[in-house]
Amino acid sequence: MTKANNSDFATSSNCQIVERVTAAATLLEIDVSRETLQKIYCYVEHLQKWNRTYNLTALRNFDDILIHHIFDCMAIIPVISSLTGGKKFTLVDVGSGAGLPGLVIAAWFPESQVVCVDSVEKKTTFIRYVAGRMACVNVQALHKRIEDIPILNAEIVISRAFASLKLFSELAGKHVSEGGWLLSMKAAMVNEDIAELESSEDKEWKVSLTKQLTVPESVASRYLVGLQRNRTRWIRQ
């Protein structure tokens, strides 16, 4: 497969990705176009190939990649749609690793801009490469630390990489535009982490959203915590 629109997609015997991603999208009540399916198929194919040599992610099993990477990232698509109200946006993925969740988000929102940031060069090299193969022209990869990048003025800054909400806000908060969101994906809802943030002296950030995510084909707990500067009501879903 050379590009995301390659005819191999239509004739491939590996229809499992297409069928399972389509079923996952139905469960999450999100639309999935043929173009998006092509991009996700392309991503999984190239991640598996690169991972044999470059160790981009600890997950190597096909099912693990599909469930714990693709479906995990798909779980936040409905939230992003709701927060942005269907408008174009700029999103920054901090500690993007193999391009997750940034590349999945870029596949679903081709009119919006996605910036994937990681301090490991082999990972940003992969992101640039696979974004090209996916025909995701809306993706930029930066080999830098998030704190060293000039202000990006993004509506959403997201990460699966930070354990601490306080540290995430300190390092990445400057990139959030007025009224925008810091979104942190977590394996567990840690009240101590939220308390640490809200007890900080500057009081710049407030937890405005907490949501338990539904990850297709997974029984693992996943949560999303949303921070905003402005005073908004607490949303618990």
Q: Please report whether residue 131 resides in a domain.
A: yes
CATH number, residue 81: 3.40.50.150
Q: Please report whether residue 59 resides in a domain.
A: no
Question: What totals of helices (H) and strands (E) does the chain contain, helices first?
Answer: 10, 8
Is 146 annotated in some ligand binding site? Answer: yes
Does residue 143 contact residue 119 with C-beta atoms inside 8 Å? yes
Cα 69 from Cα 66, distance rounded (Å) = 6
Per-block average pLDDT, block size 10, for the chain (237 residues)?
A: 47 74 98 97 96 93 95 98 97 98 99 98 99 99 98 98 91 97 91 86 88 96 92 48
Q: What does the radius of gyration of the chain's CA atoms come to, in whole angstroms?
A: 17
Closest alpha carbon to 115 in 139, 135, 98: 139
Q: Please report whether residue 166 resides in a domain.
A: yes
Q: Please report whether residue 21 resides in a domain.
A: no
Q: Please report whether residue 39 resides in a domain.
A: no
Is 100 annotated in some ligand binding site? Answer: yes
Q: How many other CB atoms are found less than 10 A from the CB of residue 111?
A: 8
Q: Please report whether residue 108 resides in a domain.
A: yes
**pTM beyond 0.75, yes or no:** yes
Domain tally for the chain?
1
What are residue 212's DSSP bridge partners?
Answer: 223
What's the pLDDT at 17? 93
Q: Which two tokens stand for residue 19?
A: 């069928």
Is 95 annotated in some ligand binding site? Answer: yes
Q: Please report whether residue 52 resides in a domain.
A: no
Instruction: Please spell the DSSP secondary structure of 68-81, one letter per residue.
Output: IIIIHHHTTHHHHH
Is 147 annotated in some ligand binding site? Answer: yes
Full residue range of the structural domain in which residue 117 is found: 72-236
What's the pLDDT at 200? 80
